[in-house]
Structure 1
Amino acid sequence: MKRTIISIFTIGVLGLFFNSCTKGLLDQEPTTELGAAAFWQTEEDATTALMGAYSEVRPIFDRDYHFSGHGEFVKVYNTGAAPIRISVNNPSNYGGGANALYQACYGAINHTNYVIENIEKIMLPQAENEEKVSQLEALIGEAKLLRGMLYFRLIALWGDVPYFGKIINDNSEVESLSRLPIAQVKDSILADFTYAYETLPEKASQVGRAAQPAALAFRGKVQLYWASWNNFGWPELTTFTPSATEANEAYAAAAKDFKKVIEDYGLQLFRGGEPGEWGEMGEAEVLPNYYYMFIPSTGNANEDGEMIMVFTHGGTGTGQSDEYMRVFTGRSVEGSQNQVNPRYEIADRYQSTITGEFMEPLIPMNPSEPNARTAPNSALNPESYRNRDYRMKSSILWDYEKIMGLASLKETGFVPFIYKTWSQEITIDGEKYTTFNDGSTNRSGYDFRKFVRNYPGQNRSSGDYNWPVMRLADVYLMYAEATNEINGPQTDAIELVNKVRHRGNLPPLKADKTADKDSFFKAIEQERIVELLAEGHRAFDIRRWRAIERVFSPPYGDGRWFVDTHGAKRERYFFNASERTYERCYIYRIPESERERNPNLTQNEPWK
């Protein structure tokens, strides 16, 4: 798929038919009827246009780490690397900062509609050629899957939204649209995913293109969210009435789809779900398998099928490269900018590989204290991190952990991370090093290893990583959640959660963790936290579970402080916050700019 997208932009075909209208809701189709008619002749033309749709949809999802900044385990700054901004990146004030995302979703929807309608026109003369019709239907299936993903993102954030399933050529048509009830939009999304499931191949022809498992997984995910909203309620969406009956039906439908994904396609966790090797404390020549799933050199091939659906990036010289290294690490790695940090609080979520339980909480200590580097459970003592979930070593850096330094496309040797030292000369075990320079933005005492390439040849903005929008491990955990809500802990669901745990070299869940529905839910939530760290899921989870107050603080409470490994209080959220503050985190504001253009658009209650 990467080569196909690159060729599209090289020859400029889509520039003839799609432009960007920044003044309105849509990226409109220009009125170049003659040119469009000349283009839409063959299946190759249809594929070319579909690749353009993938390219337009990609930046709406491939910066989903921004949403992690609305949870409690990841700090996200307003990153310049994001082409579509979510302009607020803190846990207590973000529902009004996504106007660009709203507009981008609708522009991309119009693009998918354009692809669908024109492929349907190509298909008409081919009605008697079953093979050709099947091929064209599969292309429509991909476009409908993309459209379903876009509408799913819209309803998950804004609730009721305008819906259109055809090309809209000018803003006068947009200005007549009202918000459609979420249930109707949900049904249209499910219809798109069902069409995709029925027409797509079992396995995609190229990495980055959708196939049946993706359609089923997304259909299941929509139904899981619908079940959650009906189960836990969504009072901020005043047009929505929860139903326990609908919740149970949706949980069952979600579980059915997830089960097919798990059982029918031969998909396996990356490297068989084996943990690999931890390596040596403080060294990085060898890292656990989980790490290698998130770098291009080893994770992109996706031969096991863990990455059910990804958005690809073109790499050096394509104009379509990823920016993940720039975002997830610091100056010592190709001058990166360290715009995303793990918070201090994530470290305690990594459990013991010996007991499978949480370990004694880490203790923040000032490095000037004489025993800070040796005290038991000190956050500055490297030994405090021994015998923990292998995903910790794969995901974050703590004091005296090393990462490969890179500059000018070359290796510069391993660099030890020591919080607040910034390129300081240091001797470790008789060998001289220069410490990691995180650019002084770090506020936790940890840095990311996840998503950071450990090999030379690409600069900070020239990656070719495939960003996961659906992973098999996520499907395992969603299946466990859905079945647990219906019938409590089930044997197959427990086995799947234990498979996810095994990649961290953790023992199976103990009996008390699967004794009842609530206990198993907590175990599932724990696995989602560490397994999906910084992939954008946490904020959606705590919103659909109505858990913001549980995670942070009740209204008018003390809020929640976030500290660093040195014991400094860095940030506080939800201090003395009103109910309205929480309500605005549960549902986003319809952009006022769109409401000014379209008086039919009502506003969500918390934003009136």
Structure 2
Amino acid sequence: MKLKYTITNILCAGVLLFSGTSCQGFLDKAPYDALSETSTWKTEDDAKKFAIGCYDGWESGEVLLYADCMSDFGYNNFPWEGFRDQANGTMSPSNTGYSFYHFTTIRRCNEFLTKVQDIKFADEAEKQNLIGQIKTIRAYRYFVLNFLYGGVPIIDSYMSAEEAKVPRKTEAEVRTAIAKDLDEAIAALKDRPSERGRIAKGAALAIKMREALYYDDWETAKKSAQAIIDLGVYELDPSYETLFNVSGKDSKEIILATQYLSVTKPLGTIGQMYNNAEGGWSSIVPTYNLVNTYEMRNGKTINEAGSGYDPTHPFMGRDPRMAMTILYPGADYKDNNGVNKVFNTLDKEISGGVNKNFPVAADNASKTGLTWKKYVYPMDQYSDIWSTDVCPIVFRYAEVLLSWAEAENELNGPSKEVYNKLNAVRTRVGMPTVDEGKYSTKDALRELIHRERAVELAGEGIRRGDILRWKTTDGKMLAEVVLSQTLERLVGTVDMNGANPETRATIKLDAAADEKKIEDRVFKPYNRYFPIPQSDLDNNDKLVQNPGYAAPKK
């Protein structure tokens, strides 16, 4: 009976290969629940199983859902969950919040890439394709580390702990290593993935594209985006909303996503995203900074003359993606029993009873008064919100179009091709095409591209990267502005019997500051990079801490 490398295999492999347990249906032959050097790395099947193991931990759906909490677009209510310190500026070497500083997956990839060289495959191209997948995973993990920490050790396989004490490489040196892995992978990978969750050429190109974009390498970013377009494999999904539902997991827009199964490897983070009355924790919630970024349905910003924006009814007439992404006060929704309800986080009481979703009614109530809708609703798509099979997306085709547009504008300014790619993303959701007269200069179009990217990809974990790389007119990181503010919610009331969801909420514009305040946030220039955890510094005396993070007093 032949081994089958299905999505279940990918999900189970990390547990199997590195903790000694097994997943039913994965193994039909040898007792690989006790792997050893003498019994493995003998056959092509051995190599394929170890390659699948490298996928375990290459990216986390949980982290993707939390990641916008490190930006102005999200808020993590509970500090112990690890994503609040990065947003409010309280990070330190001994209090890093969630730490991205780990090399487990990279070590697995190194092991595979060393051992596979001695394994003979029936088809050499299949071997090279597999090697390409693992080099892509290694490149991605180094990209995450390098961008967040600013240069990290490039590790090898070591025989002792002492030997493993290696210094950090420069950010440029790590970028060179990433580029080498990706270029070699792109040359070997197939155009199409063999199954959902597998890496193909488009995924490696997407990493190359995003990495180049993050470092203002516009030429490489555009070239990589164009190469993805030229593959002809991916396209925009007709439904923006369905793309993030369980039913959208096989969309042609998705280039690569994390993989979860409700029984074998569930993602419980979805339960943490619901509000208190729906049985959730409100751990991960959007902010009004995001709400204020959406244009009006007519294509004007909320601050633009003639937009029709009404601050007392801020949800009225907005970009349709707002209602597809955020559950806002006054919006309609269905609970897990399919019962129609009105979302209300503004009133302390509803019909004479306590409103469990009022921000200060309970720890588990959303402190911003907003809840994510993307990935979360409809609620009845999950039989158990704490054990879901949703697969958060890492790369999708809309990002490719937006990255191409951004890179081309930075290289050559506005063009019909830039407008066309922006229009494809905008008209998909019913937004008007770009006003070419208003956005006829590089600077004006840059502002639109940044806004379009912000709202299109909101809640997908890339906002912090963008506000670190984007600059204000005076040369500051955008993060220095948007993360150095008091985070606030809106105060008001909801007409539970109102016919129009967009106008049910009426906002009290003269609310007191203490009614609105959630937390003070600060971002210093040195917060561009995260601190190296003190435990890693203690274990490796060759590591040097990032500037700005003082060493603890002895």
If the TM-score is normalised by the length of the shorter chain, which range does it land in? 0.7 to 0.9
SS of the equivalent of 1:341 reads strand
| 1:92 alignment counterpart | 89
TM-score relative to the length of structure 2: 0.83
Cα-to-partner distance string for 1:119-156 (whole Å, 9 max, x where unaligned): 22213xx5xx5xx2211111111111110001001110
Q: Does 1:341 align with 2:285?
A: yes
| 1:507 alignment counterpart | 432
Query: What is the alpha-carbon distance in structure 2 between the residues aligned to residue 422 and residue 207 of structure 1?
Result: 45
| RMSD of Structure 2 on Structure 1 (CA) | 3.2
Displacement after TM superposition at 1:561 (Å): 2.7
Change (3 A) 1:412 1:506: closer
| 1:15 alignment counterpart | 19
Query: What is the alpha-carbon distance in structure 1 between the residues aligned to residue 470 and residue 287 of structure 2?
Result: 22
AA in 2 matched with 1:257: S
Change (3 A) 1:135 1:269: same
Given that 1:401 and 1:417 are in contact with CA atoms closer than 8 Å, whether structure 2 keeps it comes out as: yes
SS of the equivalent of 2:71 reads coil
Query: What is the alpha-carbon distance in structure 2 between the residues aligned to residue 99 and residue 572 of structure 1?
Result: 17
Q: Which of the residues 502, 508, 518 maps onto 1:571?
A: 518
Change (3 A) 1:262 1:602: same
| 1:66 alignment counterpart | 66
Displacement after TM superposition at 1:360 (Å): 5.7
Change (3 A) 1:95 1:270: farther
Q: Does 1:116 align with 2:126?
A: no
Map of 1:37-76 to 2, 5 A cutoff? 37-59=38-60, 62-76=62-76
AA in 2 matched with 1:213: G
Q: Does 1:290 align with 2:240?
A: yes
Q: Which of the residues 268, 278, 299 maps onto 1:356?
A: 299
Q: Does 1:397 align with 2:386?
A: no
Query: What is the alpha-carbon distance in structure 2 between the residues aligned to residue 218 and residue 425 of structure 1?
Result: 51
SS of the equivalent of 2:467 reads helix
| 1:367 alignment counterpart | none
AA in 2 matched with 1:67: A
Query: What is the alpha-carbon distance in structure 1 between the residues aligned to residue 274 and residue 169 of structure 2?
Result: 42
TM-score relative to the length of structure 1: 0.76
Displacement after TM superposition at 1:560 (Å): 2.1
Query: What is the alpha-carbon distance in structure 1 between the residues aligned to residue 424 and residue 226 of structure 2?
Result: 15
Q: Which of the residues 328, 347, 357 maps onto 2:273?
A: 328
Q: Which of the residues 260, 270, 273 maps onto 2:227?
A: 260
Contiguous gaps of at least 5 residues in structure 1: 19-31, 228-249, 272-288, 362-374, 428-433
Q: Which of the residues 379, 386, 396 maps onto 1:461?
A: 386
Cα-to-partner distance string for 1:414-437 (whole Å, 9 max, x where unaligned): 22111145794589xxxxxx9868
Cα-to-partner distance string for 1:436-490 (whole Å, 9 max, x where unaligned): 6885532223222111142255212211111111111111111111111111123
| 1:447 alignment counterpart | 371
Query: What is the alpha-carbon distance in structure 2 between the residues aligned to residue 45 and residue 216 of structure 1?
Result: 28
Displacement after TM superposition at 1:378 (Å): 4.7
| 1:300 alignment counterpart | 249
| 1:241 alignment counterpart | none
Query: What is the alpha-carbon distance in structure 2 between the residues aligned to residue 263 and residue 426 of structure 1?
Result: 60
Task: Please say which of residues 491-500 and 201-210 is displaced more in the overlay.
Answer: 491-500
Displacement after TM superposition at 1:203 (Å): 0.6
| 1:590 alignment counterpart | 532
Query: What is the alpha-carbon distance in structure 2 between the residues aligned to residue 549 and residue 252 of structure 1?
Result: 23
Given that 2:369 and 2:490 are in contact with CA atoms closer than 8 Å, whether structure 1 keeps it comes out as: yes
Cα-to-partner distance string for 1:380-405 (whole Å, 9 max, x where unaligned): x4xx5343211111111222212221
Query: What is the alpha-carbon distance in structure 2 between the residues aligned to residue 174 and residue 197 of structure 1?
Result: 30
Change (3 A) 1:601 1:502: same
Q: Does 1:168 align with 2:93?
A: no
| 1:206 alignment counterpart | 195
| 2:133 alignment counterpart | 142
- Aligned identity (percent) is 22
Query: What is the alpha-carbon distance in structure 2 between the residues aligned to residue 516 and residue 174 of structure 1?
Result: 52
Displacement after TM superposition at 1:376 (Å): 8.3
AA in 2 matched with 1:111: R
| 1:243 alignment counterpart | none
Cα-to-partner distance string for 1:96-118 (whole Å, 9 max, x where unaligned): 554763443x1111011112222
Change (3 A) 1:222 1:399: closer
| 1:232 alignment counterpart | none
Query: What is the alpha-carbon distance in structure 2 between the residues aligned to residue 345 and residue 99 of structure 1?
Result: 22
Query: What is the alpha-carbon distance in structure 2 between the residues aligned to residue 572 and residue 100 of structure 1?
Result: 19
Change (3 A) 1:513 1:4: farther
SS of the equivalent of 2:99 reads helix
SS of the equivalent of 2:36 reads helix
Displacement after TM superposition at 1:529 (Å): 1.3
Displacement after TM superposition at 1:17 (Å): 10
| 1:77 alignment counterpart | 77
AA in 2 matched with 1:4: N
Change (3 A) 1:6 1:604: closer
Query: What is the alpha-carbon distance in structure 2 between the residues aligned to residue 34 and residue 206 of structure 1?
Result: 26
Cα-to-partner distance string for 1:505-554 (whole Å, 9 max, x where unaligned): 11111124431111111001101111111111111111122459575666
Query: What is the alpha-carbon distance in structure 1 between the residues aligned to residue 212 and residue 489 of structure 2?
Result: 39
Cα-to-partner distance string for 1:26-66 (whole Å, 9 max, x where unaligned): xxxxxx9982231222332222222221112233x641343
Query: What is the alpha-carbon distance in structure 2 between the residues aligned to residue 349 and residue 479 of structure 1?
Result: 21
Given that 2:73 and 2:290 are in contact with CA atoms closer than 8 Å, whether structure 1 keeps it comes out as: yes
Change (3 A) 1:591 1:99: farther
Q: Which of the residues 99, 102, 113 maps onto 1:101?
A: 99
Displacement after TM superposition at 1:346 (Å): 2.1
AA in 1 matched with 2:294: Y
Given that 1:398 and 1:447 are in contact with CA atoms closer than 8 Å, whether structure 2 keeps it comes out as: yes
Change (3 A) 1:442 1:34: closer
| 1:599 alignment counterpart | 541
Query: What is the alpha-carbon distance in structure 2 between the residues aligned to residue 507 and residue 34 of structure 1?
Result: 58
Q: Does 1:523 align with 2:448?
A: yes
Query: What is the alpha-carbon distance in structure 1 between the residues aligned to residue 271 and residue 348 of structure 2?
Result: 17
Given that 1:489 and 1:515 are in contact with CA atoms closer than 8 Å, whether structure 2 keeps it comes out as: yes
AA in 2 matched with 1:356: G
Q: Which of the residues 398, 403, 406 maps onto 1:473?
A: 398
Given that 2:133 and 2:189 are in contact with CA atoms closer than 8 Å, whether structure 1 keeps it comes out as: yes
Change (3 A) 1:441 1:162: same
Displacement after TM superposition at 1:190 (Å): 0.8
Q: Count how many residue pairs are aligned between Structure 1 and Structure 2.
A: 504
| 2:209 alignment counterpart | 220
